[in-house]
Amino acid sequence: MARKSYLLFAFLLAMIIRTQAQQQPLPVILDTDIAGDYDDVGALTLLHAFADKGEARILAVISSNAFETTVPTISVLNTYFNKPHIPVGITRKSAPNESCPQQWAQAIIAKYPHNLTGNAQAEEAVALYRRILAQQPDHSVTIITIGFFTNLAGLLASKADAYSALNGRQLVKQKVKQLVSMATSLPVGKTTGREYNVYIDAPAAQTVLAQWETPVTLSPFEVGEQVRTGIPLIKDKSIQHSPVKDAFAIALAKDKDTIGRMSWDQTAVFAAIRGITPWFNSRKLNLRIEKDGSNTLIPGTRFTYLELTGSQAKKLQQEIEKLMHHQPAH
């Protein structure tokens, strides 16, 4: 009888621990090139929505793009979502430096409050990665890249410092749970492709995708291409005074886009937090990054590579669009 009670107690305890583990928000660092395209605005909105729902905890937002609007843009969005003190980092390299031709970034910076008014006010990207990772439990951190691999290549090459006695590769291996990247492309029936986040800083992508020692999930060009969002958002009259809505309204109008922007970056954030099944299909494969930033399919199972059927794309589009309508509690 005593043994039965003990087993029941042990079972209930295991269930409680399991439920608590499932409810723990996923600690995330987002690495973005926010400026050249505005799917990053949608992706950061998704991450804030997940944070407000208790599904994610934003440890830092870091820019891989030296363009002058990136840190103020991140600050505008973090401030709008009531989290103005999330650590923000940026590369101190002069490139990549990819501008905001549609001027949505300049418009929201001019209109909305933010505490980081220039890139110089953000921390250096690699130092911030090292500081944050060193403080986290082992194998706990999800890194999502929706820009270039510039900062992660710097992190891998980094040496022991005041934050950690581990070098960059050791620190990543010890602290990171997974890397989820919007990167690479394999058009249907092809064994090669070329994608922006990779070719803008091809040496960095080569380093990271060859050396990274945790599980890696890739959301390629062909996934985000199928998911069109933003038109319902800019028509949603219940959303007022929102930098997210403004960014999409300005950019979609400039693009004369009436279908909705392709949602590359949102798919990576979505897969990182909500998981692959049933939203995506996936297969294991390996890719070599060439000097020109193109990618070639090679034998191996190094990466989890996301794919979407037409009906999955429709469901994912609805879900991402809904999350992009998320508003902060006031």
Distance CA 133, CA 295 (A): 29
Pick 166 or 262: Cβ nearer Ca ion = 262
Structure tokens belonging to residue 21: 């583990």
| Residue window 242-271: x/- pattern of binding to Ca ion, with contact defined by CB under 5 A | -----------------------x------
Q: Which is nearer to Ca ion, 28 or 171 (CB)?
A: 28
Quote the least distance from Cβ 247 to Ca ion, whole Å: 13
Residue 88 C-beta: closest distance to Ca ion, Å: 16
Number of residues in contact with Ca ion under rule CB under 5 A: 5
From the list 292, 295, 312, 276, the residue with the least C-alpha distance to 183 is 295
Nearer to Ca ion (CB atom), residue 65 or residue 164: 65
Q: How far is the CB of 33 from Ca ion (least distance, A)?
A: 5
* Residue from the set 59, 146, 172, 202 that interacts with Ca ion by CB under 5 A: 146
Widest CA span in the chain: 74
The DSSP letter of residue 25 is: P
Options 140-148, 152-160, 268-276, 316-324: segment touching Ca ion (CB under 5 A)? 140-148
Closest approach, Cβ 264 to Ca ion, in A, equals 7
Nearest approach, Cβ of 86 to Ca ion (angstroms)? 18
Q: How far is the CB of 21 from Ca ion (least distance, A)?
A: 31
CA distance 241 to 283: 42
Choose among 272, 269, 178: nearest CA to 227. 269
Candidates 97-105, 147-155, 187-195, 279-287: pick the segment binding Ca ion (CB under 5 A): 147-155
Closest CB 280 distance from Ca ion, rounded Å? 19
Residue 39's Cβ-count burial label (10 Å; 0-12, 13-18, 19+) is: buried
Q: Which is nearer to Ca ion, 30 or 171 (CB)?
A: 30
124 token code pair: 């250096």
First to last CA, the chain: 54
Choice between 35 and 166, CB closer to Ca ion: 35
Q: Which residues, at least 6 apart from 185, have a Cβ–Cβ distance to it below 8 Å?
A: 193, 194, 195, 220, 221, 222, 295
Give, as ranges, the residues between 263 and 322 that touch Ca ion (CB under 5 A).
265
* Torsion-angle region of 54 (φ positive above 0: left; ψ -120 to 50: alpha; else: beta): left
Which range touches Ca ion (CB under 5 A), out of 45-53, 141-149, 211-219, 241-249? 141-149
Residues 26-65 that bind Ca ion (CB under 5 A): 33, 40
Q: Which residues contact 310 (CB under 8 A, 6 or more apart)?
A: 226
In 3D, which of 106, 67, 70 has the Cα closest to residue 88?
A: 70
Torsion sign over Cα 231, 238, 249, 43: negative
- 201 scored as a contact of Ca ion (CB under 5 A): no
Q: How far apart are CB 34 and Ca ion at their closest, in Å? A: 7
When the beta carbons of 37 and 321 are compared against Ca ion, the nearer one is: 37
Q: What residue ranges bind Ca ion (CB under 5 A)? A: 33, 40, 146-147, 265
